[in-house]
Structure formats: C-alpha cells, structure tokens
Chain A
Amino acid sequence: MSKTLLDKVWNAHAVCELPSGQTQLFIGLHLVHEVTSPQAFAMLRELGLKVKYPEQTFATIDHIVPTQSQQRPFADGLAEEMTQSLTDSCEEFGVTFYDLRSGQQGIVHVIGPEKGLTQPGMTIACGDSHTSTHGAFGTIAFGIGTSQIRDVLATQCLAISKPKTRKIEISGSLSEGVFAKDIILAIIHHLGVKGGIGYAYEYCGSAIEYLNMEERLTICNMSIEGGARCGYINPDETTIDYLRNREMSPKGDAFDRAAKYWKSVASDDTASFDDVFKLNGKDIEPMVTWGINPGQSVPVNQKIPSPSSAPEGEQNSYQEALDFMSFKGGESIKGTPINVAFIGSCTNGRISDLREAAKVVQGSKVANNIKALVVPGSMAVAAQAKKEGLDQIFSEAGFEWRQAGCSMCLAMNPDKLKGREICASSSNRNFKGRQGSPTGRTLLMSPSMVAAAAIAGEVVDIRSI
C-alpha cells in the first residue's frame, strides 16, 4: 500500500488512539518562544510536572525583542518581564535557551532550520501558527496554543486528528522576477484562506523541486494562511545537502544513515491524495495583496477586483477590505504610494532573501519620506549578511539595518506602523491592525518587490527595473 509522507511520519509517531478517536502523537521537536509559553510553564508548575524531554525542547526570544537596541533591561517593562520569565523557566526545567547572550538568537522558525534542529521525518510543534514553516524539510509541523504547549511539555505528545492531504503540484519553472513568495501567494489566491481547513498541503512539482531550502521554507511558512493545518515538501538531495555539517545534524556514518532514512519518508510515487491542485509555474506573476487577508491578492499588473467580481458569498468581505484599504475596485495596485518598506520575518528574513533584495537596492536610494527597514531573521543571518557586505548596501541605500527579531511583522515590539501608513512588507499577514496601527495598511509581496517599492516610493513591477 503506497503512502504519503504524512502517512509515514504519522504512523511512526502514533502512540495510541485516544478514547476520543484522536491520535496521541509523539512530538519529536518542541520549539518554544516567549509569548505563548509563560502560561504553559505556569500550568506545569501547578500540576507539579516536569518537562518530559527537555533535550528535545529548545527556546528563543523573537516576538518582543526590540531590533534597535537589544540591551537589557528592555525599555518595555512587559517585554523585560516576559524575557525574564522564559529565562527562569528554561533554567528551572532544563531547556536549552538561545537567548540574546548566546549569539544564536533569532526568529524561532529561522533558527530551527539553520541550526539543523529541523530534520526530515520529524513531528514538530511550537506555540506559533507559522510552525508550518518546518514542513519544508519533510516534517509534519503544527502550530499550537498554550494549553497544547502544556501538553507537549508534560508528555511530549499532542491529542490531534490526522488531516486529509491535498497535493499541490507546481509544474514548469518560474519566470524572472518571480519568487517563492509569489508561488504561495498565488496558491492562497486560488484556493482561498479557508480552502485548506482540514488539510495538510503537500507541495510538489518541478517548480518546487527547483527551489533551495530557504525558498521552500517561505512556501511552507504560509500554509497556515491558506487555512491548512500544516504543509510539507518531500525531502530530496537539496534537503540532504542543506543539512550536511549543520550544528545539530548527525555526523559521520550517522549522517549517511540519516540521509537514507530521510529519503525513505518521502511520499511514494503512487500515493493517493484526498485532493489535487495544479498550477503552472510560468503562469505565476509577482503578487501583491490589496486586501485584509493573504488570499486577497493580484498579479502586480492587474487591477484590484471589485466586489461584483468576488466569488459567491465573498462580496461583503471584498467591500470591507476595499473600505479598510481605501482602494476602489478597478484601480491599479501598481503605482500605490507606500510610506514604509519592511524586509524580514519568518517568511522572508533569511540570507537568500536579503541577497535578492540587496541586488535590487545596490546603487540606488530609498525614495524621499519612506521609512525602510531590513531585519535579519537571526543573529546568524545578520552575521552572514555583514560578512557579505549586505548591511552596507542596505545602509548606503537608506535602509535602517536592524538586529534579529520578528519586528514589524506583528508589532509586539517598538517597530510599528503609525496611523494610516501603507507598508510594502515581506511578512505573512495583512490583517487589519497587524503591523501595530489599528488602521495601518499592509501590502504583502516578495522581498525583491519590497526593495523595489522602497526605491520607487510606490508599488512597482520588479520585472520592469
């Protein structure tokens, strides 16, 4: 009987069937950050329980860290309290903590892969919806809430039902100026933000296989924006090459044995799926969101849709989005003036993202009155970028070069939009108020498109410059 990767990984981690009919699923890697875990550690203390597998539990701080000065104590007393709380919990329960002093801090979904913690065939959980990111390595990775963090800390298990599987095949190859971000925005545009409910997404096809690991992380990162419980890509030679010589990867003979195992968890050629969706890579164009969820996007050269063209039942949502954005159906998204440009986040804050964006800004200047930020996803990304001189390129162009953190993706730190500002953003969510101003506006796009918008002062087509 042929199996999908989901089948294989699920079976290997299924502890038992619970009376409820859900599976008790063993979690191989538990990642923890400062926002969603303090209450879970408190619950553990109340129950008098220990962390069951502290050696499989790793913590960092990312959401609340300031990106200008990371000197402790932080100016924000609440951020300081959360940081201290996580520091104390990690010490008390024996959890490895990549804090600011370690030199290894970063966004949790950036450091997991870069350290080699994330490996094919694992189950992964983290109290963060973008945990789906780790599926790029052929893992089954779930975002969970605080009560479930308590469950994983205490038992290394989750009570969870197995999702259905939708195969998303992107054939052909991408055109110049089209990136992984555009693939995932196009997928969500077609399938909608609720199309993935009940599913795990398997991304495959030649346009996916051709991507490097960092681009694959961008794709899987936004699975949750399409409503999917998780998303994954089958491990291949690209995956294995990436993991070779990573700090936490197996070494020597064990690596060879691991590589064999990793390849074996890929979906069988004849595996069957509950649903299949296909797109040709050559039909994907640079995408920009015009609305208040990541499915409300258009290719950069197309017009913003009017509510009358919305799918059945979505007319009100379209109107609400247009009203919030102060856009009109039929207008061009290209040429929309911006106030802020943000390059960073767990979606697009990796070294390859910064390299692509740096190519666009090199020798140019940020347009007048535009605030432009580059925020590396981790201390390691920042160090590599400096080694390559990317920080200089950005600084000379007029970008602010910041320190690692989630920054303006979600505004739990000082980096926030003001008033009605419009931000060209390489992040993952354009929800109302997401970037810190309740009335602020977000246009999601690839890092190269953000860089181009910063230079032009408005949304432009990366292919035309």
Chain B
Amino acid sequence: MKRLRVRRVDAVIPTASMADIAFLLIIFFMLTTSFSPVKMSVDLAEAANREEVEKLAAIIAIGPNGDIEISDGLQPGNKVNNLDELDIFIKEVLATDPTKQFIIKADKNIHYGAFNALYEKLRSNNCRRIALLTEAKPEAPR
C-alpha cells in the first residue's frame, strides 16, 4: 500500500513591503504635520467661517491660566511675565515688518479682559492685521 505524501507549505507572512508602507506613512506624517513654534496647549474657540492664516506670522498664545507665550514665527516660543515685555515684543516685531500679521491663539475660556489687554497693546503699537485662531465648528446633526 502506498503512503500518501502530504505536502507541507511553510506558513510565512510576507513582510517585504512592510518597509515601503512604513516609509509612505512617514512621508504622509511629514507632509501633513504643521509645526508650531509655540508649544502652549490651548482649547480654541469654535468657528464656522475660517481662513488660513499667514505662515511665519508672529504668534501670541494665552493659556487657560492667563499665561502668555510669544514667538515671532521663526524662533521657539518664550513666556512673558508682564504686559511690558509683551509691548516690547510687539514693537520689535513691527519694527522689522510693519505689516506683519499677529496670530492670537487664546484659550476659549479666558476672560475677555485678558484678551482686551493684549488687543489694546496691538492697537496702540499700530498693528494692522491680526488673526484669531479657531477650531472647526462641528456640523450640527441633521
């Protein structure tokens, strides 16, 4: 009697294309990630009508506790301790480029008074363009 030969196929997971997939993912992340010089994390207010802000604009962030962080858009962010330091920063930025845009990245729950203090400094230094950073408003369920 003949013995039946069972052909054994080795179980192999093909991993040759794994590196390609991983590198594609890296390229995707690198292209879609936008780096912000200001690292302060804030909860932004929501708005439906938004425009893309200027790249390399100066950034002023106001955190939930009223902390202020500034960056001219190129250098990493620095904390400011009082409004006088903020005033000096605004003057310096506008001295190099009087039309520079200021992005205000403020936490949605801060009091308007905190924003107003910054707004008054920008107005008194003759800043012409500001952008109030917002998050996309989720669409209402139909």
Bound together: no
Chain A residues packing against B (C-beta within 8 Å): none
